[in-house]
Amino acid sequence: MTKLLVADSAASLARGWSVQRRVIGALLMREVLTRYGRHNIGILWLFVEPMLYTLGVTALWNATMSFHGTTLPITAFAVTGYSTVLLWRNMPSRCVQAIEPNLSLLYHRQVKVIDIYLARLILEAAGAGASFMLLSIVFSFLGMMDLPEDILLVIGGWLLLAWFGMVLALFIGALSEQYEIVEKLWHPAAYLSFPLSGAAFSLHALPERAQHYLSYVPMVNATELLREGYFGSQYIAVYDTKYLILFNLVLTLFALAEVRKISRIVVPQ
Amino acid sequence: MIRVENVNKVYRTHGGDSVVLRDINFKIARGEKIGILGRNGAGKSTLVRLMSGAERPTSGAIYRDMSVSWPIAFGGAFQSSLTGYDNLKFICRIHGVDAKEHVAFVQDFAELGKYFREPIKHYSSGMRARLAFAISMVVEFDCFLIDEVVAVGDVRFHEKCRVELFEKRADRAMLIVSHDAHFVREHCDHAAVLEGGELRMFNSVNDAYVYYDARMH
């Protein structure tokens, strides 16, 4: 009897997974069409747009010879730094008030609130990731930066940051459906937290007190981790992977709870 | 069979809770066709949304062991910034149906010509209705939810819809919401009256109308 039940629920889980994959795939295609259309370079905008941001910031930092407290070339510092900012900042921005324009899709029972978010998040992470990779390859080809010393660590740092960005996005997105003020506050908060995110400084080069407080910022930990993988021998990275994972886990719990809450109250139109 | 058990739906408003559906119980068997009568604002469309699974009841449960459509021919279930063709593909993808096999049917039925590949927002209301109905026929459901299907379109279009839905799919279950008494009498086996959030089921459509007319006048 129990065996039967287990087999039954496993089968229904597998069915649910296949439906969800289909739905997210369909939403991805739709998102690409509505966002980038079929005109000019179309889907290429997915990574060209973040590339333009990173390129602009790299050029600015080079021009102003920004101080970042290390001996690393500014280009390498800017590419590894700003690519991470795009990851954790754009994902929540895409999820704020994301349900309203998609309300009509909820008429189809298969489409759930979380699918709408996940489609947007996958697209955003793919765009930021592709832009980071392309810029690293192009700049290293031009001799302006080296390729990563420990690629696995870079991927690990990137994935931990993507995880953080995703659950932050789900949390902020779901809150913005319940409280309009969240939308107003998110944008300034995102803008102001950029200088604190670890993209523009090396934690080790800061005064001890600042280091202490900033070590609680999840983005700082992830960026340091990524730079450890990228520069390793030339960079003193300060981070706590366990803390980052714990932070992500707790935020995941809150984010999923909020998403569940709004899936019960959203009314399709 | 679809079983609706003790379903309540409450919306929170600034003026307090508004109970739209109160302790609703009924069943739809395979092939059974039920009409829902009720005044504007009686909660008919809310009931349809709950049946489709687009929205969840505040309490109670709806058990489906047959597949249920979205409210068919309802233009609101589509993306207005996408073309008719892209909408067809989207619906086919989420239902796991091959869109290629249905393009010819939808193009022929909806009579959109070159507009099939234009964004829906540029359509007239008649064009939208034709496309919405055609796409609704692409996925074969066991139970169709029909909320005022005949509200738009001309006589010839109505006749085409009638053939598709009530002749070719005569074996399916249907929940039909309509203000058109003739339409309900022609197609439904039973009817229910929705009033003050409560549903009263009648075995014969005629009895339902007798009750409904007595309450409305």
Decide: B171 and B31 in contact? Cβ < 8 Å: yes
ipTM, interface predicted TM-score of the complex? 0.82
Q: Among A7-21, A96-110, A112-126, B29-43, which stretch is predicted with the lowest mean pLDDT?
A: A7-21
What's the confidence (pLDDT) of residue A68? 66
What's the confidence (pLDDT) of residue A232? 85
Interface test with B, best of A104, A177, A264 (most B CBs within 10 A): A104
Whether A180 has a pLDDT exceeding 70, the answer reads yes
What's the confidence (pLDDT) of residue B149? 66
As a whole number, mean pLDDT of residues A22-38 equals 89
Q: Do B77 and A104 touch (CB under 8 A)?
A: yes
What's the confidence (pLDDT) of residue B150? 58
The per-residue DSSP string of chain A comes to -HHHHHHHHHHHHHHHHHHHHHHHHHHHHHHHHHHH-SSTTGGGHHHHHHHHHHHHHHHHHHHTT---SSSS-HHHHHHHHHHHHHHHHHHHHHHTT-SGGGGGGGGSTT--HHHHHHHHHHHHHHHHHHHHHHHHHHHHHTTSSPPPS-HHHHHHHHHHHHHHHHHHHHHHHHHHHH-THHHHHHHHHHHHHGGGTTSSS-GGGS-HHHHHHHTT-HHHHHHHHHHHHHHGGG------HHHHHHHHHHHHHHHHHHHHHHHHH----
What's the confidence (pLDDT) of residue A143? 87
- Cβ-Cβ pairs closer than 8 A, A with B, add up to 62
Digit-by-digit pLDDT tens for chain B (217 residues) are 999 999 999 998 888 888 999 999 999 999 999 999 988 888 888 999 899 888 889 999 999 989 999 888 677 778 888 899 999 999 999 998 999 999 999 999 999 999 999 999 999 888 888 898 899 899 999 999 998 765 566 788 888 888 998 999 999 999 999 888 888 898 999 999 999 899 999 998 889 999 888 887 7
Contacts of B74 in chain A (CB under 8 A): 107
Q: Which tens digits make up the pLDDT trace of A154-171? A: 999 999 999 999 999 999
Interface test with A, best of B56, B90, B128, B144 (most A CBs within 10 A): B90
Buried b (16+ CB within 10 A) or exposed e, B66-105: eebbbbbbbbebbbeebbbbbbbbbbbbbbeeebeebbee
Rounded CA gap, A220 and A214, in Å?
7
Q: Which residue of A has its CA nearest to B145?
A: A107
pLDDT > 90: percent of chain A = 53
pLDDT band at A236 (very low <50, low <70, confident <90, very high): confident
What's the confidence (pLDDT) of residue B77? 79
As a whole number, mean pLDDT of residues A255-259 equals 97
What's the confidence (pLDDT) of residue A248? 97
C-alpha distance from B189 to closest chain A C-alpha (Å): 27
Whether A208 has a pLDDT exceeding 70, the answer reads yes
Q: Which tens digits make up the pLDDT trace of A209-232? A: 999 999 999 999 999 999 999 998
What's the confidence (pLDDT) of residue A195? 87
C-alpha distance from A259 to closest chain B C-alpha (Å): 15
What's the confidence (pLDDT) of residue A218? 95
